[in-house]
Amino acid sequence: MDSLIVNSGRPLAGEITVQGSKNSSLPILAATVLVGGVCQIHNCPDLTDTQAAIAILRHLGCKVKTGKNTVTVDSSDVSCYNIPDSLMREMRSSIVFLGSVLGRTGKAELSAPGGCEIGLRPIDLHLSSLRVMGCRIEEDYGHIRCERVKENRTSVISLSFPSVGATENIILAAALSKGRTVIHNAAREPEIYDLVAFLNECGCKISFRMQGTVVIEGVKKLHGCRYSVMADRIVALTYMTGAAVAGGDITLHGVNTNHFRTVIPVFEAAGCCVEDRKSLLRIRSDKRLRAVRDIRTMPYPGFPTDAQAPVMAMLSVAEGTSVIIENIFESRFKHVSELSRMGAKIKIEGKIALIDGVRELYGTSVTASDLRGGAALVVAGLAAKGSTVIENISHIDRGYEKIEDCFKILGADIKRVN
């Protein structure tokens, strides 16, 4: 089992190009199942989660070749529609294959992903939407059998919550259908736009209407394409929090700064200087951070829940009391206990975290409990006196491509040991 050892004391400096987005590459890899041809996906991050998605593609009959951040998928011969539990368990977001396998074969059998460290992660919105689209769905003992039994001319779905995964599954199941599918209150995360851009590049007819409405005109056939995945906005945010706590001046390339509109004000309120120029973000921090009140996680374009843990680590050494309200997941504060072991003063009242900033944290051994919580411990290590040893970093490897290498390029004292 690998661990990371982080020492503070050095300001961050330098420039990096941010990796491709995990949360965009996963639905796009699943979407290749629909194409029935060859797709070249560039800027695909090499993560344990993308490796799990590739294993599922191969199980389904796709031929997959991988290169440096390029994945070539030939889905001409997708032969099966069931995904075994062993592959589903590798990554809970494998549920996104439900829509693409169903869209390609008319059937899908897989196990429900179940909960994870940050919450129960129900899929009721996914399943109720597929039923509206004419699917028969049987569920027993965590196993889902889904079959399209009716071809609606038009299906209209109104999501009670703009679920990212449900929006993705509906789009994937509708892309090759015979009719039109309309989603109201769809998720508007940038990763949804990236998935739709990929699908339209393959010949789909998907359009965005006013606030959160998506219209999918089903088409008969798709063709392969070359596509480059967007940069990972949460990974970029994580490096920003690192520079904020360690001090310094870093520049992040390859990003779309429109994706940071509700986040940059938080860094500026904390006392950082952020310069955004279309595809690059520069952040400078040269004094003790200030507390930030009333950060509320919300569906996009609100403050992203995935940034909550790294930003909490950043604010744990700010002057004053910060308030973070986690509105999206019901148990996404597991990193608080580990931050407290490092001397952070954080109180949790339901979905509200009160962070009394301390002058500095102290290094100790801590354990990552989930992906973003683990990344938060790296950020905290950059602000701690002495060494911080982070165990269970397989969680971090799910979403960060060699996190230690990137932070090292930026001047951090961090290494991976096993």
Q: Does 399 bind ligand EPZ (CB under 6 A)?
A: yes
Mark the segment that binds ligand EPZ (CB under 6 A) among 8-16, 118-126, 235-243, 287-295. 118-126
Q: Where are the alpha helices (DSSP H) in 36-178?
A: 48-59, 85-90, 97-105, 124-132, 164-174
d(CA 130, CA 220) in angstroms, rounded, equals 19
Number of residues binding to ligand EPZ, judged by CB under 6 A: 25
* Cα distance from N-terminal residue to C-terminal residue, the chain: 6
Residues 344-373 that bind ligand EPZ (CB under 6 A): 371-372
Q: Does 9 bind ligand EPZ (CB under 6 A)?
A: no
d(CA 154, CA 16) in angstroms, rounded, equals 46
The site string for ligand EPZ over 287-306 (x = CB under 6 A, - otherwise) reads: ------------------xx
Q: Which of 9, 84, 122, 142 binds ligand EPZ (CB under 6 A)?
A: 122
User: Cβ of residue 35: shortest distance to ligand EPZ, in angstroms?
Assistant: 20
Q: Which of 20, 45, 165, 374 binds ligand EPZ (CB under 6 A)?
A: 165
**Structure-block tokens of residue 283:** 């952040």
d(CA 7, CA 390) in angstroms, rounded, equals 11
**Structure-block tokens of residue 211:** 């606030």
- Give which of 414, 379, 373 is closest to 392, Cα–Cα: 373
Which one of 39, 62, 116, 204 is the catalytic residue? 116
Q: Is 116 a catalytic residue?
A: yes
The site string for ligand EPZ over 247-286 (x = CB under 6 A, - otherwise) reads: ----------------------------------------
d(CA 347, CA 349) in angstroms, rounded, equals 7
Q: Which of 31, 164, 377, 403 binds ligand EPZ (CB under 6 A)?
A: 164
Q: Does 139 bind ligand EPZ (CB under 6 A)?
A: no
Tokens 């409990």, residue? 369
**Structure-block tokens of residue 57:** 């593609």
Q: Return the SS3 of 32.
A: helix
Binding site for ligand EPZ (CB under 6 A): 22-23, 26, 93, 119, 121-126, 161, 163-166, 187, 189, 305-306, 328-329, 371-372, 399
